[in-house]
Amino acid sequence: MNRRYVIFYWHLFSARDWQRFACDAMIARGYTVQVIELGEALESLKICDLARSDFTSVAQTSRPADKAAVLSVLDRLTPRDLILTLIPIQPSYLWLHLELGRRGLHYVQLSLGRLPTRPTWRLLARYDSCSAATVFFQSFSHLAYRIKFHLKLIAEMGLDYFRIPPPLLWGRAGSWRDLISTEGVHLWRSEVVELESLDVAWARASEHVAINVPNTAFAVYVDESLHDHPDYAITGIPAPVEKESFFPALRQTFDRIEREQGLEVVVALHPKANYSPQELEQYFGNRQAISAQTPALIQNSVLVLLHNSTSVAYAVLSRKPILFLTNHDIDKSWLRSDLDVRSHWLDQPIHNIDVVDSNELNGIPRPIVDERRYADFESHFLRSPQAKVGTAVEIVADRFEALAP
């Protein structure tokens, strides 16, 4: 087979991304893998400044300096090459889609890390008709936002907006689909391939992983590097917490859970975190902190503590109770609305670590899993009943090869 597997990525493509998008499997399949980091060429993003410890570009990446260099890459591609675009939906990047279309090249779009972004009245209708009615009318404002999103693209791009070719294939995890999507442009014209989410694949791969965990029951805290996440520099959004106030309150919450529930707290470190040994002890206390084992830790825990991590998917798949953590800073930030939505979908509580209620006689409660709510979340966002089981990229490649023999 003489095909390329070309991944257009907007910033730093790490070893974790190489694994997520099945690059080794595609090489074994006979493809030549080519990864293009576009941020510097299309929006002057200083990708080299984003690197830290284990978060660096893989050796197989190239980084064009300008649009002319990007066009040179496109000119060497053919319709037999599987092109995956993992880039923002904004004019500076939609330019790439236009250039692909002008050359008769097809591309594939994947939506494999989906999470709910708003409540749904259909879910509430089973439990609270009044709240369901309120959310139903709120859904019109979300529809208005999505329409505004596309109108803004039209205003900035003019007629080029209508010339953007749709993806040949849209690989989608879960059955959730907006009437007018902000996940891509003209997706309604694409062939849909129902897939499992990336988190389902990570969870399956972790089922038999040996991990060094306590012999007693434990809770796992999913670290999100909330004060120093490199993505904040990429997106330009502010960190939602100040470390000086956040971590002392977090440690006190761990102390309470260990004391009141008899659980040891283990920290699952974020893969992009950059803590020194001294910071680990300062931030989390004398607790076990483990890297690159989040799915297995959640599978073996009895309680999951998190904020807004996509690792909520592992808790859903393992049917683990979740305690969403907030504080006063998060409550005032962009992050709080996401916590509210996740809590709504799963009917799991939110606990403010800055508030110690003297009237809380029974301490911090351990949530109860609602099987129906968890099953709804799984089918809507992680894998629909029609999803094909297996490596998402290879399933897409099967269909692509049938369409472009």
Least confident of 77-81, 111-115, 220-224: 111-115
Encoding tokens for residue 287?
């607790």
Q: What's residue 117's pLDDT?
A: 79
Over the stretch 94-125, which tens digit does the pLDDT of each residue have? 999 999 999 999 999 999 988 887 766 556 55
Does the pLDDT at position 397 exceed 80?
A: yes
The DSSP H or E segment spanning 158 is none
pLDDT higher at 341 or 48: 341
Over the stretch 252-287, which tens digit does the pLDDT of each residue have? 999 999 999 999 999 999 888 788 889 899 999 999
Does the pLDDT at position 230 exceed 90?
A: no
Mean pLDDT, range 344-367, rounded to an integer: 82
Model confidence at 168, pLDDT cuts 50, 70, 90, reads very high
Give dist(CA 159, CA 180) in Å, integer: 19
CA-based nearest residue to 296, from 401, 218, 237, 362: 218
Mean pLDDT, range 338-367, rounded to an integer: 83
Over the stretch 34-61, which tens digit does the pLDDT of each residue have? 999 998 888 877 767 676 766 788 888 9
Model confidence at 359, pLDDT cuts 50, 70, 90, reads low
Does the pLDDT at position 128 exceed 60?
A: no
Mean pLDDT, range 307-334, rounded to an integer: 95
Q: What is residue 330's three-state secondary structure?
A: helix
Over the stretch 145-162, which tens digit does the pLDDT of each residue have? 889 999 999 999 999 999
Integer CA distances (angstroms), 206 to 48, 167, 309, 363, in order: 31, 32, 18, 33
CA-based nearest residue to 206, from 25, 19, 398, 15: 19
Helix, strand, coil shares, percent, the chain, to 5: 45, 15, 40
Give dist(CA 6, CA 21) in Å, integer: 11
Q: What's residue 182's pLDDT?
A: 86
Least confident of 8-17, 124-133, 308-317: 124-133
Mean pLDDT, range 278-307, rounded to an integer: 93
69 by Cβ neighbours in 10 Å (0-12 / 13-18 / 19+) ranks as middle
For residue 318, which amino acid is it?
Answer: S
Q: What's residue 213's pLDDT?
A: 78
Q: What's residue 132's pLDDT?
A: 56
**Torsion 48-52-57-59 (CA) sign:** positive
What is the 8-class DSSP label of residue 291?
E
Sheet holding 218-222, edge to edge: 289-291, 264-269, 218-222, 303-306, 322-326, 350-352
Mean pLDDT, range 207-218, rounded to an integer: 83
Q: What's residue 2's pLDDT?
A: 84
Does the pLDDT at position 166 exceed 60?
A: yes
CB atoms within 10 A of CB 222: 24
Q: What's residue 405's pLDDT?
A: 84
pLDDT higher at 12 or 397: 397
Q: What's residue 77's pLDDT?
A: 96
Question: Mean pLDDT over all residues of the chain?
Answer: 89
Q: What's residue 91's pLDDT?
A: 94
Cβ contacts of 70 within 8 Å, gap of 6 or more: 36, 38, 41, 42, 64, 96, 99
Are 367 and 348 in contact, with CB atoms under 8 Å apart? yes
Q: What's residue 115's pLDDT?
A: 85
pLDDT higher at 59 or 400: 400
Q: What's residue 301's pLDDT?
A: 95
